[in-house]
Amino acid sequence: MVETESAFKFTPHDHVFLGKDHDKAERRTWAVIALCTVMMIAEIVGGALFGSLALIADGLHMSTHAGALLLAALAYTYARKYADDRSFTFGTGKFGDLAGYSSAIVLAMIALLIGYEAVSRLLNPVAISFNEAIPIAVLGLAVNVVSAWLLSGGHHHGHSHGHGHDHGEEPRRIAFGSRLLEIEVFEENVPPRFRLRAESGLLPDASDVNIETIRPDGSRQLFSFDLWGHYLESRDEIPEPHAFTAMVRLTQAGQQQERELEFEEHDHGDAQGDGHGSHHRDNNMRAAVIHVVADAAVSVLVIAGLLLARTFGWLWMDPLAGLIGALVIANWSVGLLRDTGGILLDRTADPRMAERVRAVIESDGDRVTDLHLWRLGPGHLGAIVSVATTQAREAAHYRQRLAKFGDLSHVTVEVQHALQLS
């Protein structure tokens, strides 16, 4: 006999696997498109009025920039519009990854075009109108800096206590029955502490919540909470490093429930995309940011090349700067292609999570005969687990054990009993 049972973590029959900040990201992307469109029109009209071919050329370049961002914005809009469409078996959370993959291809093509033009100019130098080219490059840099600022939400997520690395943890959503809680390590201009919010707005009593951290060396620390307006905050600071397992405990109706979350230090420059926690990354926004950052990087290199060329007469500096920019863009596009391609092909999103799922199931002597773990959308993982057991256990038993993993948004369990295996 084989018994199969499915469950959706947050709301029964819910296939909405969009990122937590999906709506905000969508609005920010459209805002940047509006900015690029205004600049594009201004440059083309200004170039036509003042007879500047360079200004018209930069305006046309800005149109390709806006077109690439339009791909990201449409992916956000389409994913949101059809999020409840049941014809998408596992929701629309991967539209952002599909758009990111497409953007990576566009970036690779741009890198090839810039590289080709740079090599051509190295072999056959052309005259440069420095008085027009430099101000336009500076204007392009300014637009890209503003665009990057808008896409990031007008702030950064870096450490504010003197460390030279980014934390990278977004608020984590976990379910205790019908109650949804959000937990984050908050450290913006303050020492790091746990903050807990209720998605429904109804917070539990501070005395009913605690978090115990378990670090790789086995050390443990228990955090109690106090109420601060619309959120709960831990009384004690979280010591560095922020790499630990967090056991989140909530008492409801006299019964204590427990969920498990993983926290690790992240490097946003990791292009591999296979480190723990990468399944929280919004690759659609990442692609949009790479577009503007790549353009800004090229603008900086071009400005430097133009200044050196004008000062010392080194005309080869301009195409050399373009060639370096092409290599940088190509490197970023390869990383984005690798990460988004793996998601679209349902590559295991988090090998460490897969091992933890296996360990939880097998801790009581059962055996995992098949395990599939893939990304459904930013911060959402799907899992299919086949378990062989000699005990009288049903699928609900294993679903309950896996409930401690807050990132598992869709779980299917298949149970194979010993009588049917012999």
We report the CATH number of the domain holding residue 386 as: 3.30.70.1350
* The model's pTM: 0.64
- Could you count the other beta carbons within 10 Å of the beta carbon of residue 358? 15
By the 8 A CB rule, do 317 and 308 touch? yes
List the pLDDT tens digit at each of the 422 positions of the chain. Answer: 344 444 434 444 456 767 677 888 888 888 888 888 887 787 777 667 756 555 565 666 677 778 878 888 888 888 888 877 788 878 888 888 898 899 889 888 888 887 888 788 788 876 666 676 677 778 777 887 888 888 876 544 433 333 333 444 567 888 887 788 889 888 876 788 999 998 766 889 999 999 999 988 889 999 999 998 889 999 999 988 878 889 999 998 888 899 888 887 544 444 344 444 566 677 888 888 887 887 777 778 777 777 877 787 777 777 787 788 788 888 888 988 998 898 899 888 788 888 888 888 888 888 999 999 988 888 788 899 999 998 888 888 888 888 777 778 788 899 988 754 44
Number of domains in the chain: 3
Q: Are residues 72 and 114 located together in one domain of the fold?
A: yes
Classify residue 273: in a domain, yes or no. Answer: no
- Could you count the other beta carbons within 10 Å of the beta carbon of residue 104? 24
Classify residue 299: in a domain, yes or no. Answer: yes
Bridge-based pairing state of the strands 380-389 and 408-417:
parallel
- Side-chain half-sphere of 139: how many Cα atoms within 13 Å? 17
State which residues form the domain around 7.
2-11+348-421
By the 8 A CB rule, do 91 and 377 touch? yes
Residue 291, C-beta contacts closer than 8 angstroms, at least 6 positions apart: 65, 68, 69, 103, 107
Q: Are residues 253 and 186 located together in one domain of the fold?
A: yes
Classify residue 285: in a domain, yes or no. Answer: yes
By the 8 A CB rule, do 372 and 391 touch? no
By the 8 A CB rule, do 196 and 179 touch? no
